[in-house]
């Protein structure tokens, strides 16, 4: 974490003289280089100081009273920050400097430390992206003994993802919802789902007030039609504008994604989305170990924590590899069409150019890349 080319806060800013104390020169990240030289060992004091510096930064030049009461933040958050980083520091120190604890727990502590103070994924270089993905994979391995594969594949040039939904084909079977939950490791307890299928009365148009999005009877029901909503991956997304920490953004291939580790869970984006496309983890997502999809992407279906936003990513782990999103693959009626909007020969382009397509709330100027059409 002492790289000088980091674009975010790092422990070394303005404190070059302390550099030697931050990492071992042996290059091992597990924390236990085993060298006899004392210079390479992080003393408890230095570690704590680093932790304080990490949490309150330049304010540490002031004395203790000023630090807490004379800064432009409310007291509660000041206390919180101080205590949190002290705890983290103490925890890291106790595990990484302990003689008793094994190499594994030291490595775990080191990973936790680096993950805690890593930057925003959006600003990372490819190497940094790979490093955090490797850390997450290793951390999962250390914790569960299972190996997952996680990708940090970037958006491809000449790709802009788009989606079309045929409302005369959808029969309301909800196979897409099942596939989505399994593919994206969604919490089984809270039954949070990215996709909603709305059952609407024929002849009433898109009347969401009277639509039923949680039906359970034989489908298709007489006199009804079905339409699905999810994140529409707007080209001009209002949700990303309101994020106070820029934890959500639009990727170059048009996917609107969330960095779950940067999200603070304020849910502004949820309020800003005019399509109810975003979901919040009110509880810690639980997925039975056997059902975890191990083919993951940093911005996609990796395991989330409590208190962060998530949403449909057009299955970034699949779509960037050339596969269709899980919902498209699961749909037995072929109502869902996915593809590259920039490819003039793609099927999605044919649909847009030859069918009568429309989008929801077009007048908002959000430019959703999710079109509806009929036979």
Partner 1 sequence: MKNNVNIMSKIVCFSFCLLACFSCKHHENEYHSITDKIEAESKNYQGTSISSEAHIGDIKTIEITEGEHTFLIPERKSQITSYACTECHTKSLEQMQTKDFQQAHWDVKLDHANSNTMNCLTCHNGSNMDHLTSLTDQSIDFNSSYNLCSQCHTTQFEDWKGGAHGKRIGGWAPPRASMTCVNCHNPHKPHFESRWPARFNTQKVKERE
DSSP string, 333-350: S--EEEEETT-TTSHHHH
342 binds partner 1 (CB under 8 A): yes
Cβ-based nearer residue to partner 1, 262 or 373 = 373
Contact 361, 353 (CB under 8 A): no
Name which of 146, 145, 144, 143 is nearest 108 in CA terms: 143
Residue of the chain from 68, 219, 242, 272 that contacts partner 1 (CB under 8 A):
219
302/124 Cα distance (integer angstroms): 18
Contact letters for partner 1, residues 226-245 (x by CB under 8 A): ---------x----------
Phi-psi sector, 125: left (phi>0), alpha (psi -120 to 50), beta: beta
Piece of 128-136, 292-300, 303-311, 334-342 that binds partner 1 (CB under 8 A): 334-342
CA distances from 75 to 48, 54, 55, 59, 317 (A): 21, 18, 14, 14, 42
Q: Which of residues 344-373 bind partner 1 (CB under 8 A)?
A: 344-352, 354-355, 367, 369, 373
Name which of 339, 338, 375 is nearest 357 in CA terms: 375
Could you give the 3-state DSSP secondary structure of residue 165?
strand
278 binds partner 1 (CB under 8 A): no
Q: Which of residues 107-166 bind partner 1 (CB under 8 A)?
A: 156-160, 162, 164, 166
Cβ neighbours for 348, distance < 8 A, ≥ 6 positions apart: 162, 163, 164, 337, 338, 339, 340, 341
328 binds partner 1 (CB under 8 A): yes
Could you give the 3-state DSSP secondary structure of residue 162?
strand
Piece of 42-50, 92-100, 130-138, 341-349 that binds partner 1 (CB under 8 A): 341-349
Residue of the chain from 193, 256, 257, 363 that contacts partner 1 (CB under 8 A):
193
Residue of the chain from 98, 105, 116, 178 that contacts partner 1 (CB under 8 A):
178
320 binds partner 1 (CB under 8 A): yes
Residue of the chain from 13, 123, 245, 321 that contacts partner 1 (CB under 8 A):
321
190 binds partner 1 (CB under 8 A): yes
58 binds partner 1 (CB under 8 A): no
217 binds partner 1 (CB under 8 A): yes
155/255 Cα distance (integer angstroms): 9
CB of 178 to partner 1, least distance (A): 5
230/220 Cα distance (integer angstroms): 20
Piece of 17-25, 40-48, 170-178, 267-275 that binds partner 1 (CB under 8 A): 170-178
What are the residues binding partner 1 (CB under 8 A)? 156-160, 162, 164, 166, 169, 171-175, 177-178, 189-191, 193, 197, 213-220, 235, 318-324, 328, 331-334, 337-352, 354-355, 367, 369, 373, 375
């Amino acid at each position: 974490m002492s790289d000088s080319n980091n674009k975010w806060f790092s422990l070394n800013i303005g404190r070059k003289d302390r550099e030697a104390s931050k990492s071992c020169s042996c290059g091992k990240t597990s924390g236990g280089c085993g060298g006899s030289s004392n210079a390479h060992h992080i003393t408890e004091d230095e570690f704590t100081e680093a932790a304080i510096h990490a949490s309150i930064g330049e304010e540490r030049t002031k004395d203790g009273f000023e630090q807490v009461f004379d800064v432009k933040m409310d007291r509660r958050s000041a206390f919180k920050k101080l205590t949190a980083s002290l705890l983290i520091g103490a925890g890291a120190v106790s595990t990484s400097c302990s003689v008793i604890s094994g190499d594994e727990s030291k490595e775990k502590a080191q990973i936790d430390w680096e993950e805690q103070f890593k930057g925003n994924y959006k600003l990372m270089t490819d190497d940094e992206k790979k490093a955090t993905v490797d850390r997450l994979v290793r951390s999962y391995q250390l914790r569960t003994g299972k190996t997952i594969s996680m990708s940090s594949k970037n958006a491809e040039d000449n790709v802009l993802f788009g989606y079309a939904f045929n409302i005369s084909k959808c029969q309301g079977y909800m196979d897409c919802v099942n596939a989505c939950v399994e593919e994206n490791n969604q919490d089984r307890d809270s039954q949070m789902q990215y996709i909603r299928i709305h059952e609407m009365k024929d002849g009433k148009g898109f009347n969401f007030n009277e639509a039923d999005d949680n039906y359970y009877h034989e489908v298709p029901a007489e006199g009804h039609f079905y339409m699905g909503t999810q994140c529409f991956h707007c080209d001009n997304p209002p949700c990303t504008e309101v994020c106070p920490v820029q934890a959500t953004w639009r990727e170059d291939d048009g996917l609107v994604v969330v960095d779950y580790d940067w999200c603070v869970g304020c849910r502004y984006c949820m309020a800003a989305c005019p399509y109810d496309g975003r979901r919040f983890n009110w509880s810690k997502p639980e997925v039975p170990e056997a059902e975890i999809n191990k083919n993951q992407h940093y911005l996609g279906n990796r395991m989330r924590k409590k208190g962060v936003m998530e949403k449909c990513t057009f299955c970034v782990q699949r779509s960037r590899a050339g596969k269709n999103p899980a919902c498209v693959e699961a749909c037995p009626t072929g109502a869902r069409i996915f593809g590259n909007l920039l490819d003039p020969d793609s099927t999605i382009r044919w649909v847009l150019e030859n069918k009568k397509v429309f989008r929801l709330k077009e007048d908002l100027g959000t430019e959703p890349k999710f079109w509806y059409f009929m036979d």
